[in-house]
Structure 1
Amino acid sequence: MKPTLLVLAAGMGSRYGGLKQLDALGPNGESIIDYSVYDAIQAGFSKVVFVIRHSFADQFKERFDPKLDGKIEVEYVYQELDKLPQGYTVPEGREKPWGTGHAMLMAKEAIQGPFAIINADDFYGREAYQTVIQFLENSTKDTEYAMVGYALHNTLSKYGTVSRGVCETDAINNLENIVERTKIGYLNNKVVYYEGDKTTELTGKEPVSMNFWAFKNTFFSALEEGFQAFLEEKGHEMKSEFYFNALVDTMIKAGRATTKVLSSDAQWFGVTYQEDKPIVQKSLQTLIDKGIYPTHLWK
């Protein structure tokens, strides 16, 4: 069974000031999602599942249904606060979504085989999709997952520091730990991270997680179990979130799963703020000028 691409697109873009999932960034109005799905099709994915919200479903479908018709199977699932297991309710006053693990769980019925998961507003590069496809085609263990590890220097900004999860692996590239570094940037042309007044130099080649993961269908059972445990412990809180990558970390440390870190030299970029938009537009145009993408992506 060919893999499915799961796209997390339910965010409301509060910092961006609008639905950045739909913002026109390519020369003919393409969004980052357009390039992600295009790369997934080229790599061999047979289906895409979008996690969205009912509030912008019509707008989203009008944007993607016509261009994807006949190219890849498409399905939509919805992340809403009240989509909880039987016996649980949304605490009064809570408005914040339940997190990426909850969003992922919404796709359980839509995905029957192996799958990869990405953020809607991140550009990952074609090589990454090809690497993930190769892993899913060759991996035989239900509890063996994978994560694309980007070279740190390919994910940095020239305009300030960023937060990155720096991956620690064993001798055969199995993930052992992800160390969250909240301030990484350039200092005198060197890559460093800041801790208070102290700076520590990095090579820039360290693998970092940008939320591109590959799973087997059996992971949904672990998600259900994990989300219910989360609700028991933190479901009464206003801002607590259930993250699928935190669940994977727990499973790794308990010996219940392994995760390969797949090396990628691709250039990552994404949009968080409006100020990111011209940088992304320029990056996409550079790739078009190199012949990696056609000017009219879907023509």
Structure 2
Amino acid sequence: MNQKPTLLVLAAGMGSRYGGNKQIDGFGPNGETILEYSIYDAIRAGFGKVVFIVREEILELAKGKFLPKIEGKIEAEFVLQSITSFVPEEYQNPDRVKPYGTAHAVLCAKDVVKEPFAVINADDFYGKEAFEILSKFLQAGVQPNLHAMVGYAIQNVLSENGTVSRGVCTTNASNQLIGMVERTSIARESGKIVARGNNEAIEIAENTPVSMNFWGFHPAIFKDIESMWLEFLPENKENIKSEFFIPLVANNLIESGKAAVEILEGGKTWFGVTYTEDRPVVIASLKSLHESGEYPGSLWG
């Protein structure tokens, strides 16, 4: 399609396990947020626009944090995700507190994103190579029925400070996604990687690809997400904790034969802040990347 792709940032999460707005916390040597590194890497990989999905209560805070730094370097837009966004009145539940999850967040951007786009979490560091490989896919490989996900080996995306949730992937011989299972309690135990849940413990091989929510989509995905969303709402009206996740959409597209998802092997470096105790590790990792020359002394000059 050869048009500059867009970066869609999921920044509306509550940060409940971390204990604050980690999307706008400073971790870099000059107080840079993790997200600033993703935007920097996206700009040098050829992205033309960044769209922030935020909650209304952090909108002005986010604008003040990011716009002065990126102005003139990349086009920027802000989109709100709320518990009533794209929810017809008959399905709104006054008892609901949290938004509906990642696929709902993507749907909230459907009116401002018309080109191939990447989706990332605001609080994960994905690495320069991941943006480069996904940018190439979005400019040359993406199709209405072919999307992508950057895969990361499970051994590289754990936390030393507690369990993590990861979308564990099964792939075919063509390196396409067959399916994904969200495992909500993964940790290293006695040298092995183990997922616990439903009174069972499942060992996961070290190199198993997992989703870190770094996706590449053709804009045709919005139509598919919306039709699934309108099926999800009546089924989940009374469940105030139900969430509409991107893996649910991906699995549905694959199982129905409507689309394929290619796993891109660009996930070399990852770190993030699931827990407050992860903070020093992230600070040290970013400092090292600056010192090695991967990033300039100050990201924005």
5+ long unaligned stretches in structure 2: none
| Partner Cα distance (2:144, 2:68) in 1 | 35
8 Å contact from structure 2 (residues 161, 277) kept in 1: no
| Partner Cα distance (2:148, 2:201) in 1 | 33
- Matched-pair identity in %: 47
- Which residue number in structure 2 is paired with residue 256 of structure 1? 258
Distance apart, 1:114 and its partner CA = 0.3
- Which residue number in structure 1 is paired with residue 150 of structure 2? 148
| Partner Cα distance (1:87, 1:161) in 2 | 37
| Partner Cα distance (1:179, 1:8) in 2 | 21
| Partner Cα distance (2:87, 2:165) in 1 | 33
- Which residue number in structure 1 is paired with residue 194 of structure 2? 193
Paired amino acid for 2:109: A
Encode CA deviations 1:34-93: one digit per residue, 9 max, x unaligned: 101000001000000000122121111111111111000000000011223444342121
8 Å contact from structure 1 (residues 80, 97) kept in 2: yes
Pair 1:131 & 2:96 matched = no
Distance apart, 1:263 and its partner CA = 0.9
| Partner Cα distance (1:7, 1:245) in 2 | 16
SS in 2 for 1:102: helix
- Which residue number in structure 2 is paired with residue 35 of structure 1? 37
> Relative to structure 1, is the Cα distance of residues 292 and 192 closer, same or farther in structure 2, using a 3 angstrom cutoff?
same
Distance apart, 1:186 and its partner CA = 3.5
8 Å contact from structure 2 (residues 142, 218) kept in 1: no
8 Å contact from structure 2 (residues 127, 267) kept in 1: no
Paired amino acid for 1:256: K
Distance apart, 1:244 and its partner CA = 2.1
8 Å contact from structure 1 (residues 118, 213) kept in 2: yes
8 Å contact from structure 1 (residues 98, 240) kept in 2: yes
8 Å contact from structure 1 (residues 98, 241) kept in 2: yes
8 Å contact from structure 1 (residues 26, 285) kept in 2: yes
8 Å contact from structure 1 (residues 151, 264) kept in 2: no
Equivalent residue in structure 1 for 2:181, among 179, 182, 194? 179
Equivalent residue in structure 2 for 1:17, among 16, 19, 43? 19
Encode CA deviations 1:178-200: one digit per residue, 9 max, x unaligned: 23444444345x43325568673
TM, length-normalised to structure 2 = 0.93
State the superposition RMSD in angstroms: 1.8
Greater alpha carbon shift after TM alignment, 89-98 vs 283-292: 89-98
8 Å contact from structure 1 (residues 36, 124) kept in 2: yes
- Which residue number in structure 2 is paired with residue 98 of structure 1? 100
- Which residue number in structure 2 is paired with residue 81 of structure 1? 83
Paired amino acid for 1:270: G
8 Å contact from structure 2 (residues 42, 131) kept in 1: yes
> Relative to structure 1, is the Cα distance of residues 250 and 42 closer, same or farther in structure 2, using a 3 angstrom cutoff?
same
Paired amino acid for 1:289: E
Distance apart, 1:265 and its partner CA = 4.3
8 Å contact from structure 2 (residues 9, 53) kept in 1: yes
TM, length-normalised to structure 1 = 0.93
- Which residue number in structure 2 is paired with residue 221 of structure 1? 223
Greater alpha carbon shift after TM alignment, 171-180 vs 30-39: 171-180
Paired amino acid for 1:67: K
Distance apart, 1:250 and its partner CA = 1.0
Paired amino acid for 1:75: E
8 Å contact from structure 1 (residues 8, 120) kept in 2: yes
8 Å contact from structure 2 (residues 164, 274) kept in 1: no
Greater alpha carbon shift after TM alignment, 174-183 vs 35-44: 174-183
Greater alpha carbon shift after TM alignment, 164-173 vs 223-232: 164-173
Equivalent residue in structure 1 for 2:72, among 70, 73, 92? 70
| Partner Cα distance (2:273, 2:62) in 1 | 18
8 Å contact from structure 1 (residues 154, 265) kept in 2: no
Distance apart, 1:237 and its partner CA = 1.9
Q: Count matched residues.
A: 297
| Partner Cα distance (1:39, 1:22) in 2 | 18
SS in 1 for 2:294: coil
Greater alpha carbon shift after TM alignment, 179-188 vs 69-78: 179-188
SS in 1 for 2:111: helix
| Partner Cα distance (1:206, 1:158) in 2 | 19
SS in 2 for 1:108: coil
| Partner Cα distance (2:71, 2:216) in 1 | 25
